[in-house]
Amino acid sequence: MTAQTYWAEYALLDRPPEGPGPAGRAVEPGVVVTTGPDGTITALRTRVPGPPVGAVSLRGLTVPGLANAHSHAFHRALRGAGEVHLHRPGPGGSGPAAGGSFWSWRDTMYEVAGHLDPDTYFSLARAVYAEMALAGITCAGEFHYLHHAPGGSRYADPNAMGEALAAAAAEAGIRLTLLDTCYLTSGFGTGPTVPQLRFSDGTADAWAERAGALRDGPRLRTGAAVHSVRAVPAEALSTVAHWARERGAPLHVHLSEQPAENDACREAHGRTPTRLLADHGVLGPGTTAVHATHLTGEDIALLGESGTGVCLCPTTERDLADGIGPAGRLRQAGVALSLGSDSHAVIDLLEEARAVEMHERLTTGRRGHFTATELLAAASGNGHAALGWPEAGRLETGAAADFTTVALDTVRTAGPPAALAAETVVFAAGAADIRDTVVAGRHIVRDGTHQLVPDVPGALAAAVAAVRGR
């Protein structure tokens, strides 16, 4: 990789405490970003009125690359299909629609999972990660539990499905944290169902042995995940936590997404899922709890005191009628918030960021909980930290050269002054307004066109059709 110079019309930069004006992030005009052969930012200059000779122009607001901290790539094949059953008539063809919940949606998800193999998974994930790049996402955290063949038989390479995901991200040009997930049971004291057999390694030790064979790469890092307290027995939680801590790897866990999970955990263990995780050493600075929608006050305090982060996935949480998480109370407890698109009902981290504030407004009847720069930090720096990439998520010398540019001249973003570019981007822009995406200094998306996957819509359509049998 060679050195490259970019000229950003505007860029969101950290303002040091000793500089003019208040500390924090501010929009700066005319920023020259020089990247080195190692994929880092080697120099920054501000207030350069035009692009230097040979520089690549980035028109709009350039921000640190977005981090999608929670992804299930194969869920992308459910887009649209998950809505159909909600409006069918009840039994006998009359009466109200049957409706649905997370649990009925899950049945459809299992059906899709049953059609995947390493080849179809690679094709689908490559297209999904390319869609993410078009949305300004430079790093994804793949919560990966689709380990084995249908029925639970092993592939010749026990990590064939994970390797397919890693190869897909590499071809799409983004960073990936493969969060290899331990998934052993269908509920408290019950074995996996038939669709879940391909998720399970049988024991936590067997999971650890298989996951231990995974290797990091230039833009690939490996982490661990506890699928949930219902899918990993209490006595196995510490095995997963130890595996992650020993390697300094990120550890993620679905937490309190559904009230039914909380009720079942209390019945089985006499405590909430958060307390159960705390008691078995899962919580801590390297851990991210995903969703954390239905928490008690004690749960929130435990997360804050332990230094555990929380990844919110607002578009999925509302799509599945899961509920609205306590973002404001989590922030007050000192919890770092990151964002994910989870089931990929949409892939738009700006919408996820906007939803955090908007959902707080709906639940409190009050505006102004999170600033635009706080929400961008959740969508970028906090997400990269949660995924084990602390060198990314900021525009400064020595940081990873990962950034994305949002157009300021579309029908959604035109009009506001440049000083309000961050507010415009967070509260009005969307994935369709992403113009450029750079990963490790490499121009992956240029003027809205993916440079490595030339026809992303076509790739998505073909991959989804192959999975869904159309």
Q: What is the DSSP string of 98-160?
A: ----HHHHHHHHHHHHTT--HHHHHHHHHHHHHHHHHTTEEEEEEEE---S-GGGPPPSSTTH
Backbone phi and psi for residue 130, each to the nearest 5 degrees, phi listed first: -65, -40
Q: Which of 72, 148, 291, 369 is catalytic?
A: 291
Quote the CA–CA distance of 265 and 358 in Å, as a whole number: 31
Q: Which of 201, 299, 319, 342 is catalytic?
A: 342
Q: Which two tokens mark 216? A: 């990091």
443 is catalytic: no
Residue with token string 């650890």: 208
Task: Beginning with the edge strand found earlier in the chain, give each strand of the sheet holding 56-64 in spatial order.
Answer: 41-45, 24-35, 4-15, 56-64, 403-406, 434-439, 442-446, 449-450
Backbone phi and psi for residue 39, each to the nearest 5 degrees, phi listed first: 80, 20
Quote the CA–CA distance of 207 and 370 in Å, as a whole number: 39
117 is catalytic: no
Q: Which two tokens mark 112? A: 């899709």
Quote the CA–CA distance of 230 and 342 in Å, as a whole number: 19
Burial class (CB in 10 A: 0-12, 13-18, 19+), 151: exposed
Quote the CA–CA distance of 417 and 400 in Å, as a whole number: 29
Catalytic residues, which ones? 291, 342
